[in-house]
Structure 1
Amino acid sequence: MAEYWSTLDVDLHLSVDPASGRRVGLEQALREAVRDGRLAAGTRLPSTRTLAVELGLARGTVSAAYDQLVAEGQLVAVRGSGTRVAEAAARGAAGAAGAAGAAERGSPRAAPATAPAHPTTPALSIAPLGSGGESVNRPGGAQARPFALSLRPGTPDLSHFPRAAWLRASRRALNAAPNDVFGYGDPRGRVELRRALAEYLGRARGVLADPERIVIVSGAVQGLALLGQVLGGVVAMEDPYIPLFHDVVRANGAQVLPLPVDDDGARVDLLSGRRYRDVEAAIVTPSHQYPIGSTLHPARRQALVEWARDDRRLIVEDDYDGEFRYDRQPVGAVQGMAPDRTVYLGTASKTLGPGIRLAWMVLPEHLIGPVTEAKLYADHQSEALGQVTLAEFITSHDYDRHVRAARLRYRRRRDLLAERLHTRAGRPAAGFALGGIAAGLHALVRLEPAGMSEEEVLRRAAEFDLELEGLGGLWHTPNAFASSGARPQGIVVGFGSPTEAAYPRALDALVRTLSWR
């Protein structure tokens, strides 16, 4: 069986510059990751064999780079324990980061880093997050009746939740937890989880995440609600996107402008235009746009960062499924390019399940105080026992193991989806194109004008008792079945949500749905 980077060891995100040479480029990338704090003291690095597979390098090249950094004191190699980041190197990085943070806190726009002990202003209300069994992350709202089969996006396969490993982590966490875990705590969240996330996000997603800059929230919905309260003003959001997210931001005090998306991601060039001159923040999904599935082009990433820095605007990066990339190492977070101008929003909803109700924001220095205060007024703090369990789950590397297994499972499902839709009912596929499959838990079936309409596909799917999501309901101004051709039509297929047993039957129904009569 071929070795895939996605199934080996712990995740480590590195961007190696080939212009410097392979060994020198790897050394520079590792030094930079230690220096800027993405690799914290004691962080275990992948084995030389694993990293060589991930980066497409010779194992000897990786060994030579490790040896050089060990000689410099950046890394330490202990027999039986692998290679880790040296304490002294990390202390130097922390000192540099602290100096930069002090400079930021000294700016006129900086805010206090902790919430006031006795709040004197009333909390702004947060819009209801849904009712009954409806998932708040499910785009487009609940269907009128249950379906026997579903390829609707929004959740992972919940039957694969790691129950045994989670239970072990919970027992370890509770045995080690101090008594105050059962009392009121810091609105930012348990320090155990914030520390674990700082290490994991720096290593796996390229995020510059000091624990003091992390706020734990109950989901992406609450994160956006808090930001809507704190930011106010005008916010740009990708179009199409999740309608609930538009509504949450609006309900909490911000005006929303749609930002078009194409195959290279959000049209960040438009942000410099007259229509967007009052925009103070842009909410984007750079790693895997929902629902189009595109990845933000490197040139657009750079343009987005420059736009934010030029006028002290803000990027809100929704990294909802950044761990799931199948054909190469995941694209790093934009936050690593501009941590002082980016809010990084991550969640356990896609890796573990939305029922965990844990997500996190990595904030610029000047937003820590306002967001912490808004969190205090909203619900004081997120549930603590789940936080310490997730912290133990991450630090024990059970989280890495679970993500790697899930990544392999979903890649196989992605491959099967592409294979089945390559031919329909024994005939070459026609009338649609499959896109957005390099990453994530969903794909976009683009419907061609000469083929079936979106309305007809959804109607036929219902005849086969199959639940699907149409692209039309995800625009800022819904236009599900427009005949004008101004907007593309398509079906968003969630290949992550069915159980292993149900997935082949759901694909059979999808093939029949897309087959001509």
Structure 2
Amino acid sequence: PELRRALAGYLARARGVRTTPDRIVVCSGVAHALRLLFGGRVLRGPLAVESYGLAFHRAVLAAAGVRTVPLTLDADGARTGELTDLAGVRAALLTPAHQFPTGGPLHPRRRLAALGWAEGRDGLVLEDDYDGEFRYDRDPVGAVQGLAPERVVYLGSVSKSLSPALRLGWMVLPERLVGPVLDAKGEREAWAGVTDQLTLADFLDSGRYDRHVRRMRQRYRARRDRLVAALAAHAPHVTPTGVAAGLHAVLRLPAGTEHQVVEAAAAQSIALDGLAGFRHPDATMPALDGLVVGYATPPEHAYAAALEALCRILPPDPLPHRSGGPALEDRGPTR
């Protein structure tokens, strides 16, 4: 109860979430939340998801027998207007604050379209707010949950703000789902330790968590700026997107070059992913070539060398006098 009370205050203040402690269920992260919701038969599929997202989440859902249906993405996020054409779908998993992995917030009109669809179909939006605290060049983007608490399941964790090794997350639930989720979870806490929960509650109540997030936001912004500057100096034809927020950037590549560049990165001991690994197998939108570069991970003493190595493995500019525009651009806040 101490953690749920602290979370209710923090989420209201930092993310605009409207809740009370009794509507928060603590879990070990978003994957655990999906297991409880779908593996526990609180919700049933099919489930709409974004065309690019975590394959691990799709695997969790598939293991629960849930069919996922991809929504097209563009510069304004998921095309939530497509939800009305999906027969039998009554829930959608979205990353509205910062689409993962392509970057950028969900356009306000599309937020409202998703909520309108959920209301009309007696459905739900599952909001994965995986790094909502980290923003740099744009105004804060509040949680969708604050607009319709009875139509949104808000999912969060400390995996980005503290560490993925600390298995602590939460669900903010519509009132009617609290009992079924608690039944699915059972009486004994399987993953999130009591000591960890009490420690996080104290971290939140004391204000140290807020100070930590502010400090890390400054550090990550400086790292983001160094990445952008290195690309501008050594690979100006490579466009970084998704850099107004979050802990990673997407570097768009010429079509057909992604696999080769990922292999070259591995040869240079650079750990990064290609966009292909995040693509839904049933996605119908054109495939995107690019690199997903997490700039928060390398230790400070190795960061400069990592940037140099990254720039070395990028393909040369096929059109030296023209910079190609990506299909998904990070255009900042849309009002």
**SS of residue paired to 2:113:** helix
Q: Work out which of the residue numbers 262, 265, 274 in structure 2 matches 1:461.
A: 265
Give the match for residue 270 of structure 1: 82
Determine the C-alpha separation between the residues in 2 that align with 1:404 and 1:372. Answer: 33
Which of 1 and 2 has greater Rg?
1
Determine the C-alpha separation between the residues in 2 that align with 1:300 and 1:278. Answer: 20
Determine the C-alpha separation between the residues in 2 that align with 1:194 and 1:246. Answer: 28
**For the Cα contact (< 8 Å) 2:126–2:155, is it kept in 1?**
yes
2:52 aligned with 1:240 = yes
Give the match for residue 246 of structure 2: 440
2:101 aligned with 1:295 = no
Report the CA distance between 1:412 and its aligned residue: 0.6
Q: Work out which of the residue numbers 186, 195, 207 in structure 2 matches 1:397.
A: 207
What is the identity, as a one-letter code, of the residue corresponding to 1:231?
L
Report the CA distance between 1:512 and its aligned residue: 0.6
List per-residue Cα deviations over 1:130-182 (Å, max 9, x = no partner): xxxxxxxxxxxxxxxxxxxxxxxxxxxxxxxxxxxxxxxxxxxxxxxxxxxxx
Q: Work out which of the residue numbers 278, 283, 287 in structure 2 matches 1:487.
A: 287
2:112 aligned with 1:280 = no
List per-residue Cα deviations over 1:159-208 (Å, max 9, x = no partner): xxxxxxxxxxxxxxxxxxxxxxxxxxxxxxxx000000000000110001
Give the match for residue 139 of structure 2: 329
Report the CA distance between 1:377 and its aligned residue: 7.0
List per-residue Cα deviations over 1:243-300 (Å, max 9, x = no partner): 0100101212322111222111111010011xx1211100000000101002100110
**SS of residue paired to 2:48:** strand
Q: How does 1:106-185 map to 2 (within 5 A)?
A: none
Determine the C-alpha separation between the residues in 1 that align with 2:245 and 2:92. Answer: 22
Give the match for residue 346 of structure 1: 156
Give the match for residue 475 of structure 1: 279
What is the identity, as a one-letter code, of the residue corresponding to 1:215?
V
**For the Cα contact (< 8 Å) 2:76–2:106, is it kept in 1?**
yes
**SS of residue paired to 1:501:** helix
Deviates further, 452-461 or 277-286: 452-461
Give the match for residue 312 of structure 2: 512
Report the CA distance between 1:514 and its aligned residue: 0.9
Stretches of structure 1 lacking an aligned partner (at least 5 in a row): 1-190, 480-484
Report the CA distance between 1:515 and its aligned residue: 4.9
Report the CA distance between 1:383 and its aligned residue: 1.1
Determine the C-alpha separation between the residues in 2 that align with 1:361 and 1:506. Answer: 36
Report the CA distance between 1:381 and its aligned residue: 6.4
Determine the C-alpha separation between the residues in 2 that align with 1:404 and 1:329. Answer: 15
What is the identity, as a one-letter code, of the residue corresponding to 1:455?
H
What is the identity, as a one-letter code, of the residue corresponding to 1:225?
R
What is the identity, as a one-letter code, of the residue corresponding to 1:250?
A
**For the Cα contact (< 8 Å) 1:262–1:294, is it kept in 2?**
no
- Distance change >3 Å, CA 242–CA 193, structure 1 → 2: same
Report the CA distance between 1:355 and its aligned residue: 1.2
Report the CA distance between 1:463 and its aligned residue: 2.5
Give the match for residue 187 of structure 1: none
What is the identity, as a one-letter code, of the residue corresponding to 1:260?
T
What is the identity, as a one-letter code, of the residue corresponding to 1:402?
H
Q: How does 1:27-42 map to 2 (within 5 A)?
A: none
Report the CA distance between 1:500 and its aligned residue: 1.2
**For the Cα contact (< 8 Å) 2:69–2:282, is it kept in 1?**
no
TM-score, with structure 1 as normaliser: 0.59
**SS of residue paired to 1:356:** coil
Q: Work out which of the residue numbers 288, 309, 316 in structure 1 matches 2:119.
A: 309
2:68 aligned with 1:256 = yes
- Distance change >3 Å, CA 478–CA 418, structure 1 → 2: farther
Report the CA distance between 1:380 and its aligned residue: 5.0
Stretches of structure 2 lacking an aligned partner (at least 5 in a row): 318-335
**SS of residue paired to 2:126:** strand
**For the Cα contact (< 8 Å) 1:444–1:490, is it kept in 2?**
yes
Report the CA distance between 1:330 and its aligned residue: 2.1
- Distance change >3 Å, CA 192–CA 202, structure 1 → 2: same
**For the Cα contact (< 8 Å) 1:226–1:252, is it kept in 2?**
no
**For the Cα contact (< 8 Å) 2:11–2:17, is it kept in 1?**
yes
2:32 aligned with 1:222 = yes
What is the identity, as a one-letter code, of the residue corresponding to 2:261?
V
**SS of residue paired to 1:357:** coil
Q: Work out which of the residue numbers 367, 387, 409 in structure 1 matches 2:197.
A: 387
Determine the C-alpha separation between the residues in 2 that align with 1:378 and 1:493. Answer: 39
Give the match for residue 81 of structure 1: none
Q: Work out which of the residue numbers 296, 299, 316 in structure 2 matches 1:496.
A: 296
Determine the C-alpha separation between the residues in 2 that align with 1:442 and 1:453. Answer: 20
Determine the C-alpha separation between the residues in 2 that align with 1:249 and 1:463. Answer: 33
Report the CA distance between 1:379 and its aligned residue: 5.0
**For the Cα contact (< 8 Å) 1:324–1:330, is it kept in 2?**
no
Report the CA distance between 1:351 and its aligned residue: 0.2
